[in-house]
Amino acid sequence: MPPADSCADKVDSRWSGRSEFVAMRVAACTDRGQRRSTNEDAYWADPPWFAVADGMGGHRAGEVASRLAIETVKEQALLHRGATARDLVAMVEEANRRIWEASRTEPDFVRRMGTTLTLMHVEFPRCLIAHVGDSRAYVFRNGRLRQLTSDHSVVAELIRSGNLSEDEAAFHPQRNVLTRALGMAEELDVDVIQEQLFRGDSLLLCTDGLSSVVEKSRIEAILEHSMSPAEAGERLVAEANAKGGPDNITVVVVEIPAHEEPA
Ligand code: MN
């Protein structure tokens, strides 16, 4: 894994997917941003597994929650071997249980310790995502960015029900309030998303430190004009910081090369 607060290009060794071999180019970056004193985001980028988590809670509890989420899914991936929708949901549920237990048993922690978690497994030609919270997974195809996940936030639900416009949402006082997160209750409802992939696609996982600050059209332009996932990741983080960097910023960029690389 690349060191925290840096971007590293990573070319994965080939592995056998469902129908063919594919190599991916991967970069992951996390940055504290301009206004926070700590980084409560965490990520995991170890092909074919990818995840981002955005922790919340006082006294560094958010940092503990996001790291616990990432550590748990890593460990579970080694145990499970499989990567069905049921496996991914079980991994996220296990992370939830551990954070819930830790928040109840550790006296130093404030009770409301939580985190988002977006976990992705890429098995070309498809990817599977298990998701809770307002971190995001996008697919970038033919110059267009499409959000694969739904935000589990008060504001996103008001938009979905037709009670709030996208423009109003940007300034809504409850724009950071989540309706679902790990660590809030013993039981957790986990979304599962499956997407068919094509050569030339890129996938982007990010926390809201990117998506609530950098416009979609700007993210598209950066992905389109970067020579590598590492360059894209660095430019996305720089863009969020240029817009004030109000929150921690984490991005994971996965590129499926357009052409098969020579063996
Ligand atoms: Mn955040």
The pLDDT tens digits for 204-224 are 999 999 999 999 999 999 999
The pLDDT tens digits for 16-67 are 344 445 788 999 999 999 999 999 999 999 989 999 999 998 778 999 999 9
Cα dihedral across residues 147, 65, 249, 121: positive or negative: negative
Give the number of other CB atoms < 10 A from CB of residue 237.
24
Residue with tokens 């991967």: 26
The pLDDT tens digits for 126-152 are 999 999 999 999 999 999 999 999 999
Confidence of residue 262 (pLDDT cuts 50, 70, 90): low
Task: Measure 46 CA to ligand 1 centroid, in angstroms.
Answer: 22
Confidence of residue 112 (pLDDT cuts 50, 70, 90): confident
Q: Where are the alpha helices (DSSP H) in the chain?
A: 61-80, 85-105, 154-160, 166-169, 208-211, 216-225, 229-242
Q: For residue 147, which of 211, 59, 75 has the smallest C-alpha distance?
A: 211
- What is the average per-residue pLDDT within 90-108? 89
Task: Measure 166 CA to ligand 1 centroid, in angstroms.
Answer: 19
Cα dihedral across residues 56, 57, 60, 65: positive or negative: negative
Query: Is residue 5 predicted with pLDDT exceeding 60?
Result: no
- Percentage of the chain surpassing pLDDT 90? 71
pTM for the predicted model, two decimal places: 0.91
Task: Measure 210 CA to ligand 1 centroid, in angstroms.
Answer: 8
Query: Is residue 104 predicted with pLDDT exceeding 60?
Result: yes
Confidence of residue 79 (pLDDT cuts 50, 70, 90): confident
**CA 141 to mean position of chain CA atoms:** 18
- What is the average per-residue pLDDT within 59-88? 91
* φ and ψ at residue 250, rounded to 5 degrees: -135, 130
Task: Measure 186 CA to ligand 1 centroid, in angstroms.
Answer: 23
Q: How far apart are CA 90 and CA 130, in angstroms?
A: 10
Confidence of residue 4 (pLDDT cuts 50, 70, 90): very low
Query: Is residue 176 predicted with pLDDT exceeding 90?
Result: no
Query: Is residue 15 predicted with pLDDT exceeding 50?
Result: no
Task: Measure 66 CA to ligand 1 centroid, in angstroms.
Answer: 11
Task: Measure 247 CA to ligand 1 centroid, in angstroms.
Answer: 6
Q: For position 109, what pLDDT does the model report?
A: 58
Task: Measure 16 CA to ligand 1 centroid, in angstroms.
Answer: 35
Task: Measure 17 CA to ligand 1 centroid, in angstroms.
Answer: 33
Compute the mean pLDDT over every residue in the chain, rounded to the nearest whole number: 89
Task: Measure 241 CA to ligand 1 centroid, in angstroms.
Answer: 13
Q: For position 7, what pLDDT does the model report?
A: 63
- The residues facing 31 across adjacent strands are 249
